[in-house]
């Protein structure tokens, strides 16, 4: 059952209950009022009936003789006042009974005077016996008795005289019942009309009120059909439906973003699998080719055998490195680095630069680091990330291009924003790279001292030993003055298997995973890596990680 139908049925039910309770309450209130009025009419009719019924009968004129039928005369005698019936309701009954229960006189007055009644109440002996002698009319008990041979009822009051005779006055329920019946019919008709009108109005109001929900339903259907850009128009914060629309739109935005992210992730995964398959297929194809050369007789020629074995070993090493890089990226994707320990970044960078100078002895590689800078991290992963940056600079720049590796810290406070330790050294390294001049190592990093730039631009000297508590982030920069990176490739350089120059990278033995590993290591330490063109040409990569 629809919400509209449930609301309408609930409203109809409540209206029916309310109207029924109102009608029943009105009926009983009116019945109580009419009953009190009927009782009062009986009490008011009693003295008048006593006077008019017994007038001219001599009743009470001779107290010494209060018996005998002939003393009462006839209820239809000519000595009656023809106007006495105007004091009674139509059908009011009066009768006089003797002590034995015999009816002596009776009358049912009307506008034209007394007449023989057409309806009589059933007067039982116990009622006559219960009659009080000269009672107080305001408190005298009244009884409801049936009519003889009819379904009507009478409201009766009885009074006993001193001689034992009983005067009975009864008023029929007919007028009261007729009034209640007419009111009941009016209530039924009025309630039906009101119910129909309210149901029609409720239907219209519910239909209008639920129209925004209908629009939300239609929007949801369109979204289910694939249109994720669809939104709900009802977004007023003043209404419940409007707030629902706002929440619905927010949910749709998140769903759309998640769906787009999933699509992008799936595309990256497909591209990753394709690239990984291609990268693995290349060394495997080479190994297979050299194996075929071996079977074709290379084993009988020592010089060919040596070349085949050397190439198989080189391709195997390349494939092993590729697999190791893929496994490392998979582990880094699962979460941050788990091995957290104090690491002297300054010493690590100096070691990496020393190794690079051994690999490229003719290359000018300068460094600017403080004597000591300790952070908390995974030493192996950080060493690999920085080594990848230095290795990329060596591989992708001409042999005569100088390289600078610097370490700096950023300190943020209310008074000073400083880049410590390596700022002047970075400037010197860049300048040297531009002019190809030699740098004095002592001018780049002097043990026991450091240099910072304060908010006024002045250099401030401080102790050379830096702890993480003094800094916010550590910035490790690798600067070269090679060809740089094309603008259209900058947005993709941290993607896996991406090469700005695929042919040259593959010839150099690269897999296209170096910068991806650097970015993953930085993210695992809560940091990031960014790229900036070097002034005058070249590339500057900054690995930024928190000190703690």
Q: Please tell me the distance from the alpha carbon of residue 351 to that of residue 353, in angstroms, as a whole number.
A: 5
For residue range 129-145, what is the model confidence (pLDDT) as tens digits?
888 887 888 888 898 99
The rounded percent of the chain whose pLDDT value lies above 90 is 15
Residues 6+ away with beta carbon under 8 Å from 258: none
Helix (H, G, I), strand (E, B) or coil at 447: coil
Res 354: pLDDT: 92
pLDDT higher at 502 or 234? 234
Q: State the average pLDDT over residues 505-531.
A: 78
Q: List the CATH code of the domain at 227-334.
A: 1.10.287.130
For residue range 393-428, what is the model confidence (pLDDT) as tens digits?
998 889 888 999 999 988 644 333 344 444 344 444
Q: Hey, which residues does 528 pair with through a beta bridge?
A: 544
pLDDT over 60 (residue 438)? no
pLDDT over 50 (residue 524)? yes
Helix (H, G, I), strand (E, B) or coil at 364: coil
Residue among 117, 98, 100 nearest 59 (CA): 98
pLDDT over 70 (residue 40)? yes
For residue range 175-212, what is the model confidence (pLDDT) as tens digits?
899 999 999 999 999 999 999 998 899 888 888 877 87
Res 346: pLDDT: 92
For residue range 446-497, what is the model confidence (pLDDT) as tens digits?
333 333 333 333 333 333 444 444 558 899 999 998 888 888 888 888 887 7
- Radius of gyration in angstroms for the set of CA atoms belonging to the chain, rounded to a whole number: 57
pLDDT band at 276 (very low <50, low <70, confident <90, very high): confident
pLDDT band at 338 (very low <50, low <70, confident <90, very high): low
- Number of residues written out for the chain: 548
- The ranges assigned to domains in the chain are 3-58+69-179, 227-334, 337-546
Res 84: pLDDT: 42
Helix (H, G, I), strand (E, B) or coil at 133: strand
Q: State the average pLDDT over residues 151-174.
A: 88
Q: Please tell me the distance from the alpha carbon of residue 155 to that of residue 92, in angstroms, as a whole number.
A: 10
Among 12-26, 125-139, 163-177, the range scoring the smallest mean pLDDT is: 125-139
Residue among 362, 386, 363 nearest 475 (CA): 386
The rounded percent of the chain whose pLDDT value lies above 70 is 76
pLDDT band at 541 (very low <50, low <70, confident <90, very high): very high
> What is each CA distance from 66 to 58, 76, 99, 418, in whole angstroms?
10, 21, 12, 134
pLDDT band at 118 (very low <50, low <70, confident <90, very high): low
pLDDT higher at 516 or 467? 516
- Contact at 8 Å (CB) between 159 and 178? no
Q: State the average pLDDT over residues 372-395.
A: 89
pLDDT over 70 (residue 79)? no
Q: Beta strands 132-133 and 153-160: pairing type?
A: parallel
- Give the burial string for 510-547 (b: 16+ CB within 10 Å, else e): bbbbbbbbbbbbbbbbebebeeeebeeebbbbbbbbeb
Res 136: pLDDT: 84
CATH class of segment(s) 337-546: alpha beta
pLDDT over 80 (residue 443)? no
DSSP string, 170-216: EEESHHHHHHHHHHHHHHHHHHHHHHHHHHHHHHHHHHHHTHHHHHH
Residue among 529, 483, 523 nearest 505 (CA): 483
Res 508: pLDDT: 52
Q: Please tell me the distance from the alpha carbon of residue 15 to that of residue 234, in angstroms, as a whole number.
A: 31
């Amino acid at each position: 059952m629809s919400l509209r139908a449930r609301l309408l049925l609930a409203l109809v039910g409540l209206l029916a209950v309310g109207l029924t309770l109102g009608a029943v309450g009105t009926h009983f209130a009116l019945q109580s009022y009419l009953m009190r009025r009927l009782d009062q009419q009986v009490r008011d009719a009693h003295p008048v009936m006593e006077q008019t019924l017994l007038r001219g009968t001599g009743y009470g004129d001779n107290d010494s003789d209060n018996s005998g039928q002939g003393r009462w005369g006839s209820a239809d005698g000519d000595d009656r006042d023809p106007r006495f019936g105007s004091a009674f309701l139509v059908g009011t009954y009066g009768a006089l009974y003797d002590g034995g229960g015999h009816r002596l006189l009776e009358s049912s007055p009307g506008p034209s005077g007394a007449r023989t009644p057409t309806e009589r109440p059933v007067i039982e002996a116990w009622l006559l016996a219960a009659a009080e002698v000269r009672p107080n009319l305001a408190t005298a008990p009244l009884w409801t008795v049936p009519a003889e041979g009819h379904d009507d009822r009478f409201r009766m009051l009885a009074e006993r005289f001193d001689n034992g005779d009983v005067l009975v006055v009864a008023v029929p329920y007919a007028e009261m019942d007729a009034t209640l019946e007419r009111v009941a019919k009016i209530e039924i008709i009025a309630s039906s009309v009101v119910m129909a009108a309210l149901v029609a109005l409720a239907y219209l109001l519910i239909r209008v009120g639920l129209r925004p929900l209908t629009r939300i339903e239609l929007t949801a259907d369109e979204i289910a059909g694939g249109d994720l850009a669809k939104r709900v128009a009802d977004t007023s914060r003043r209404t419940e439906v409007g707030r629902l629309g706002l929440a619905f739109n927010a949910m749709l935005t998140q769903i759309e973003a998640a769906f787009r992210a999933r699509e992008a992730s799936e595309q990256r995964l497909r591209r990753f699998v394709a690239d990984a398959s291609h990268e693995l297929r290349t060394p495997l194809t080479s190994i297979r080719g050299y194996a075929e050369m071996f079977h074709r007789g290379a084993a009988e020629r020592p010089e060919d055998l040596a070349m085949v074995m050397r190439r198989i070993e080189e391709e195997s090493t390349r494939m092993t490195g590729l697999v190791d890089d893929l496994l490392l990226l998979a582990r880094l994707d699962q979460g941050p680095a788990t091995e957290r320990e104090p690491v002297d970044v300054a010493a690590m960078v100096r070691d990496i630069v020393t190794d690079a100078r051994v690999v490229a002895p003719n290359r000018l590689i300068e460094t600017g680091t403080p004597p000591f800078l300790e952070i908390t991290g995974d030493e192996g992963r950080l060493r690999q990330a920085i080594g990848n940056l230095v290795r990329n600079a060596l591989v992708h720049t001409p042999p005569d291009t100088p390289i600078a590796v610097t370490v700096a810290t950023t300190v943020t406070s209310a008074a000073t924003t400083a880049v410590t330790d390596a700022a002047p050294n970075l400037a010197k390294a860049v300048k040297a790279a531009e002019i190809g001049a030699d740098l004095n190592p002592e001018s780049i990093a002097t043990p026991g001292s450091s240099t910072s730039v304060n908010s006024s631009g002045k250099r401030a000297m401080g102790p050379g030993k830096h702890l993480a508590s003094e800094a916010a982030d550590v910035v490790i920069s690798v600067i070269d003055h090679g060809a740089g990176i094309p603008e259209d490739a900058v947005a993709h350089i941290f993607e896996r298997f991406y090469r700005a120059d695929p042919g040259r990278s593959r010839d150099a033995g690269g897999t296209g995973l170096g910068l991806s590993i650097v970015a993953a290591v930085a993210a695992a330490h809560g940091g990031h890596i960014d790229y900036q063109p070097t002034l005058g040409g070249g590339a500057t990569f900054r690995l930024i990680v928190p000190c703690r």
